[in-house]
Amino acid sequence: MNKTLIIAEAGVNHNGDLALARQLIDAAAEAGADYVKFQTFKAHKLVSKSAKQADYQVKNQSGQADDTQYSMLKKLELSEKDHYELQQYTEEKGIKFLSTGFDYDSIDFLDSLGLALFKIPSGEITNKPYLKHVGSKGKPVILSTGMASLKEIEEAIDVLEAAGLKKPQISVLHCNTEYPTPMEDVNLKAMLTIREAFKINVGYSDHTLGIEVPVAAVAMGATIIEKHFTLDNNLPGPDHKASLNPEELKSMIKAIRNIEMALSADGRKVPSTSEAKNKSLVRKSLYFNGSYPEGTLLQEHHFIAMRPASGISPMQIDDFVGRTLKKGVQEGELVEFNHFS
């Protein structure tokens, strides 16, 4: 099994504070993530100044919410200088830097940073001009599909391919855009539906609480996992409460790597090297179920299967039923071929 690409989604959980952003990078690196991902946008190009916040944004901020998305997002912008510093710091920590761009200028800027791939957020899946612009860069794309129908996913893939991308360059993440996502709304099998429908690489972008669902997604075939994380779930901001803390992120990644190992064999049902030493200790051999004199005509009840498996297998019991003892035996004595006439 190939290694799952794990994206630790810092998103806007830096709260506009570069020091906090560096601490998020530290946590992602320590947890073993492949990428740490931020968000690149200018609020005035992302939302109208009158756009109301989503219910989850209001709820997750516990009464600290601004009136509009614009006023909230304006505080969460990262400058170009911030990006340079964070990218350099990420590389120093031994992991890769990634950011989601939400407009043309942001995509162009991220391209100038030399990013190896682009991440398209769920909200842009119906934004044809944006999709064309991303596709024109010729770099691999990861497409999130929260709120999308299969038809909308197909249309987005078609736009990316028309812009010049090949299907192997496109990965599609099943996603639910509710923070946190109720378990009954996860619909994890939809990931397999996407893979089957488009014969495309798939993964999962998770907004549930806990780590169970992304781990299950890997077991089902996800090749990419994206998960929000924060330093503290009680920090102000729209996404902290639906994010993993650093220890949970570490636990998720460890669990995913364990699942990868568990799925790494070729699927043939053969004894493993590690269990071979237990074979004789756990399996059974035939023993005599009592003390019997010479000449006893043996029936099945004269035998008992017991550990260890140091003699004749119980699978061979029919070979001895109906035979006669040529010498007396004691209860618990191991059955041997020389006992029989």
Q: What percentage of the chain has pLDDT greater than the value 90?
A: 87
Query: Is the confidence at residue 128, as pLDDT, over 60?
Result: yes
Cβ burial of 218 (10 Å; 0-12, 13-18, 19+) is buried
Query: Is the confidence at residue 65, as pLDDT, over 60?
Result: no
Residues 280 and 329 in one domain: yes
Residues 242 and 293 in one domain: no
Question: Please, what is the average pLDDT of the chain?
Answer: 95
Residues 173 and 79 in one domain: yes
Residues 256 and 283 in one domain: no
Residues 92 and 214 in one domain: yes
Q: Is residue 267 part of a domain?
A: no
Q: What is the pLDDT of residues 242-300, one digit of tens each?
A: 999 999 999 999 999 999 999 999 999 999 999 999 999 999 999 999 999 999 999 99
Task: Identify the CA nearest to 11 among candidates 122, 98, 131, 133.
Answer: 98
pLDDT at residue number 103: 95
For residue 238, what is the domain's CATH number? 3.20.20.70
Q: Is residue 323 part of a domain?
A: yes
Q: What is the DSSP string of 302-319?
A: GEEEES---S--GGGGGG
Residues 110 and 224 in one domain: yes
For residue 305, what is the domain's CATH number? 3.90.1210.10
| DSSP 8-state assignment for residue 335 | P
Residues 229 and 300 in one domain: no
Q: Is residue 188 part of a domain?
A: yes
From CA 181, how far away is CA 274, in angstroms rounded? 40
Residues 136 and 210 in one domain: yes
Q: Range of 329's domain? A: 273-339
Contact (Cβ atoms closer than 8 angstroms) between residue 312 and residue 336: yes
Query: Is the confidence at residue 57, as pLDDT, over 80?
Result: no
Question: Is residue 322 helix, strand or coil?
Answer: coil
Residues 167 and 281 in one domain: no
Q: Is residue 327 part of a domain?
A: yes
Q: What is the pLDDT of residues 148-161, one digit of tens each?
A: 999 999 999 999 99
Residues 103 and 169 in one domain: yes
Which of residues 262, 289, 304 is at a domain's end? 262
Residues 18 and 99 in one domain: yes
From CA 20, how far away is CA 85, in angstroms rounded? 13
Query: Is the confidence at residue 62, as pLDDT, over 60?
Result: no
- Residue 240: CB atoms within 10 A of its CB come to 24
pLDDT at residue number 52: 72
pLDDT at residue number 56: 58
pLDDT at residue number 12: 92
Residues 90 and 210 in one domain: yes
pLDDT at residue number 42: 85
- List, in sequence order, the alpha helices (H) in the chain: 18-31, 43-46, 55-60, 69-74, 80-92, 104-112, 128-135, 150-162, 189-198, 212-220, 246-262, 273-276, 279-282
Which of residues 262, 294, 324 is at a domain's end? 262
pLDDT at residue number 45: 77
Paired tokens of 292? 């019997």
Q: What are phi and psi of 291, to 5 degrees?
A: -95, 125
Contact (Cβ atoms closer than 8 angstroms) between residue 119 and residue 142: yes
Q: What is the pLDDT of residues 150-206, one digit of tens each?
A: 999 999 999 999 999 999 999 999 999 999 999 999 999 999 999 999 999 999 999
Q: Is residue 112 part of a domain?
A: yes
Q: Is residue 268 part of a domain?
A: no
Q: Is residue 77 part of a domain?
A: yes
Which of residues 204, 227, 262 is at a domain's end? 262
Q: Is residue 198 part of a domain?
A: yes
Task: Identify the CA nearest to 156 among candidates 192, 100, 194.
Answer: 194
Contact (Cβ atoms closer than 8 angstroms) between residue 203 and residue 224: yes
Cross-strand pairs, 286: 305
Task: Tell me the average pLDDT across 328-332.
Answer: 98
> Structurally, how many domains does the chain consist of?
2
Q: Which pTM value belongs to this model?
A: 0.89
Q: Which residue type is seen at 332?
A: G
